[in-house]
């Protein structure tokens, strides 16, 4: 959401009508979309075809894909998929002098010449207005396991991440730390109440039917419960 500055004249540009999903190519695993499309709408459209648009964060319901690329957002899935930059195959940009720069590509293996599109990913609109994008998509996983754990000792955080990686491998999608407020004694969790001051949530897709996490799986003395999302 753009906010006008108070100290100097400002132009606000809305791309909300440039919101069309132009092409979902399931076989190639790509989608071409106008820059004003809301992230969540794109996520839902590709999910209907068994595909995943990887960038995801709390503002998904208002953020446009153009804004996601202009800020190179990281978000919840960054461990597995990298920042938004990793998902961009092609861009179309309107430059300051009105010329249209066509950097639209849909090739996953495009190793030819300079990769000029990278200039427009992350600079927050200072080099041009992104109008069209092509993203790579990923196959949806049949199961996702998400777990909530509590650690008695935050110094073992990295050790815990290593363990989570050993479980999920490259498919470990998210690993979030929920520090408790000072004095807090309980963090509510869907299946249990965790009484320790540091909470962690991590998630990874896996193949095969869900299985219940056992505390014996963990070298940590933590209470761990899992939920299954099908």
Contact call for residues 158 and 220 (beta carbons, < 8 A): no
Pair 31, 1: CB distance under 8 Å: no
Q: Is 15 in the site for ligand FAD (CB under 6 A)?
A: yes
Q: Are strands 193-194 and 143-151 parallel, antiparallel or unpaired?
A: unpaired
Stretch that binds ligand FAD, among 26-34, 57-65, 204-212, 213-221 (CB under 6 A): 57-65
Task: Rounding to the nearest 10 degrees, give the CA dihedral for residues 92, 93, 94, 97.
Answer: -120
CB 220 within 8 A of CB 151: yes
Strand 30-34 and strand 21-25: the pairing is: antiparallel
Q: Which of 29, 32, 42, 66 binds ligand FAD (CB under 6 A)?
A: 66
Positions in 123-182 near ligand FAD (CB under 6 A): 124-125, 129-130
Q: Determine the interface stretch with ligand FAD among 61-69, 148-156, 159-167, 199-207 (rule: CB under 6 A).
A: 61-69
Could you identify the residue written with the tokens 């249209």? 100
Instruction: Give dist(CA 151, CA 221) in Å, integer.
Output: 8
107-126 positions binding ligand FAD, by CB under 6 A: 124-125
Which CB, 51 or 130, lies closer to ligand FAD? 130
Binding ligand FAD (rule: CB under 6 A), the pick from 31, 54, 63, 144 is 63
**Which letter does DSSP use for residue 66 in this model?**
H
Task: Output the smallest distance, CB 200 to ligand FAD, in A.
Answer: 19
CB-nearest residue to ligand FAD:
67
Q: Quick one: which of 75, 168, 197, 199 contacts ligand FAD (CB under 6 A)? A: 75
Both tokens of residue 114? 């300079």
d(C-alpha 178, C-alpha 80), whole Å: 20
The residue among 29 and 75 lying less far from ligand FAD, judged by its C-beta, is 75
By the rule CB under 6 A, 2 interacts with ligand FAD:
yes
| Interface region with ligand FAD, contact rule CB under 6 A, candidates 19-27, 42-50, 54-62, 165-173 | 54-62
The span from the CA of 4 to the CA of 8, in Å, is 9
Binding-site ranges for ligand FAD (CB under 6 A): 1-2, 15, 35, 57-59, 62-64, 66-68, 70-71, 73-75, 124-125, 129-130
């Amino acid at each position: 959401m753009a906010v006008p500055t108070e100290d100097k004249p400002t132009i606000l540009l809305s791309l909300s009508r440039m919101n069309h999903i132009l092409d979902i190519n399931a076989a190639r695993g790509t989608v071409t979309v106008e820059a004003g499309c809301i992230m969540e709408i794109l996520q839902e459209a590709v999910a209907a075809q068994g595909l995943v648009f990887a960038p995801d964060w709390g503002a998904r319901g208002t953020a446009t894909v153009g804004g996601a690329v202009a800020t190179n957002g990281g978000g919840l899935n960054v461990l597995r998929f990298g920042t938004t930059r990793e998902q961009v195959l092609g861009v179309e940009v309107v430059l300051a002098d009105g010329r249209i720069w066509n950097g639209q590509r849909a090739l996953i293996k495009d190793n030819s010449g300079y990769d000029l599109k990278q200039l427009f990913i992350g600079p927050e609109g200072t080099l041009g207005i992104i109008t069209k994008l092509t993203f790579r998509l990923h196959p949806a996983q049949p199961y996702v396991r998400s777990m909530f754990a509590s650690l008695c000792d935050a110094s073992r955080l990295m050790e815990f991440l290593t363990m989570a990686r050993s479980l999920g491998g490259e498919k470990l999608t998210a690993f979030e730390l929920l520090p408790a407020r000072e004095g807090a004694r309980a963090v509510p969790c869907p299946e249990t109440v965790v009484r320790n001051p540091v909470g962690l949530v991590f998630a990874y897709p896996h193949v095969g039917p869900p299985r219940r996490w056992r505390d014996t799986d963990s070298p940590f003395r933590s209470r761990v419960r899992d939920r299954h999302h099908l």
